[in-house]
Structures are given as structure tokens and as C-alpha cells.
């Protein structure tokens, strides 16, 4: 493998790691193995620390393909707790309000989910990497500042109910780039008249890359340590 000319590693990001944590771990393995002070390493599509699953890591000149790769359709399996909301729309922050769930039926959930199929408008979470005046929205939100973000047009190709309980549902979502599943959980909860927040998220596909094709971070690091290495004449 030639990591300087460019390779693409598909990893299963573990729970609790930031996307940067995973990139940093693999960059460290590469610099040690190649004997270089630095090498370009980047990822195509950020995953929140509380999410797991497919993350594409590009090395060397393959980093030029990041925009192309992260534009691919994405598939997620998401668990949404109903009857409560949090400021971050997931478990990063504490519950700030509770709502009744007795009225929620499987039929109601199916009806609501159908309304999210196709082109939709979505307001990104305040706890997101969107920029406001050059600053990340999550930096402002974590300081208690009010954050106003404009809605974005997205495409939901498929939204399927996998399991149902009055206080929790699990859905499979196939969607376009830029979709915030946390915001989708918020909007589904609101449409059900109950509130909702994300409690688990797994990205199972990016473009043609599925979770079964991914290595753990440890397996990817071991691959870097043991694979036959090709070095280019120039390392610019």
C-alpha cells in the first residue's frame, strides 16, 4: 500500500470517540511506520462521539477525494426516545422537558414517518459544526448563547420503522449528505406531539461502503503496522 500517494481506509468508529480521535490515532500509526514527521489524513463525513459506524479515512493525495466520498448517500439505524427532549437532541445534554406518550401508537408513528419521506426542510441542531459568524454553533451553544440556524433542504430516500414501543422507536434512514439524525429525532418527536431525542445512532453505509467492509480502529492500525509499504519518490 502507498499511503502517501493515497489510500482509503474504511473504519467502524467506536462509541465515545470523536471523528478527529480516530483520524489522530491512524495518523500516528502512519507517521511512525513511514518515518515521516507528517502526512495528510482526513475523514469524509463527521460522526458525533455518541454515534458509531462507517467512517471513511483518506490518506495522502487521496484526501483530494474527501468531498466526492462524503457526498454519497448515507444509511443510519437510529434509536429515538419519545416523551422527552434535550438541548442537544441526544444524550450529550440532560433532559429539559417531558411529554405524554400514551397517545402514541404504531399506526401514528408510521403516519408521521411517511411525512419525512422525500424532500424536507431541516433546521440543524444548535449543538452542531455549522458556522455562525465564523464560529462553530456548538461553541456558542455550550456557552449558553442563543443560536439561530437557517433550515436546509435535504432528501430522505427511505425512513423505515424497525421497532416500536410507546416510549422508544428504532428507525432506518437513508438520506442525503448534511442530514442531522439528531434533528430528525427532534422533528419526529414534535410531529408525534411528544418530543424526542436520539439515544443511539449507527451509520451503516456511506455510498457503496457498508459496515461489513469496515475495520475497527485497532485493526486499521494493525494493518498499517504490518502491510507491505510502497514509498513514492516524492512525499510532497
d(CA 141, CA 143): 5
Among 84, 87, 102, 201, which Cα is nearest to 146's? 87
**Cα(17)–Cα(28) distance, integer angstroms:** 16
3-state secondary structure at position 151: coil
Q: What's the gap between Cα 224 and its chain centre? A: 25
Out of 48, 208, 225, 236, the active site residue is 48
Phi–psi pair at 84, nearest 5 degrees: -155, 150
Is 48 tagged catalytic?
yes
Residue indicated by cell numbers 493515497: 6
Q: Which three cell numbers, joined as nine digits, stand for 71?
A: 457526498
Catalytic residues: 48
Amino acid at each position: 500500500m502507498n499511503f502517501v500517494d493515497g489510500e482509503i481506509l474504511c473504519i467502524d468508529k467506536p462509541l465515545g470517540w470523536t471523528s478527529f480521535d480516530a483520524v489522530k490515532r491512524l495518523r500516528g500509526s502512519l507517521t511512525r511506520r513511514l518515518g515521516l514527521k507528517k502526512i495528510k489524513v482526513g475523514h469524509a463525513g463527521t460522526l458525533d462521539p455518541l454515534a458509531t459506524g462507517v467512517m471513511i479515512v483518506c490518506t495522502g493525495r487521496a484526501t483530494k477525494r474527501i468531498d466526492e466520498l462524503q457526498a454519497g448517500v448515507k444509511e443510519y439505524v437510529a434509536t429515538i426516545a419519545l416523551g422527552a427532549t434535550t438541548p442537544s437532541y441526544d444524550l450529550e445534554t440532560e433532559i429539559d422537558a417531558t411529554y405524554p406518550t400514551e397517545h402514541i401508537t404504531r399506526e401514528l408513528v408510521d403516519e408521521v414517518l411517511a411525512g419525512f419521506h422525500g424532500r424536507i426542510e431541516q433546521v440543524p441542531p444548535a449543538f452542531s459544526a455549522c458556522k455562525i459568524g465564523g464560529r462553530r454553533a456548538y461553541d456558542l451553544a455550550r456557552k449558553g448563547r442563543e443560536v439561530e440556524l437557517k433550515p436546509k433542504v435535504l432528501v430522505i430516500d427511505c425512513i423505515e420503522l424497525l421497532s416500536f414501543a410507546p416510549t422508544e422507536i428504532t428507525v432506518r434512514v437513508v438520506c442525503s449528505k448534511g442530514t442531522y439524525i439528531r434533528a430528525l429525532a427532534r422533528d419526529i418527536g414534535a410531529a408525534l406531539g411528544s418530543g424526542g431525542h436520539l439515544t443511539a445512532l449507527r451509520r451503516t453505509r456511506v455510498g457503496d461502503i457498508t459496515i461489513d467492509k469496515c475495520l475497527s480502529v485497532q485493526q486499521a492500525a494493525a494493518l498499517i503496522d504490518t502491510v507491505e509499504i510502497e514509498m513514492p519518490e516524492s512525499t510532497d
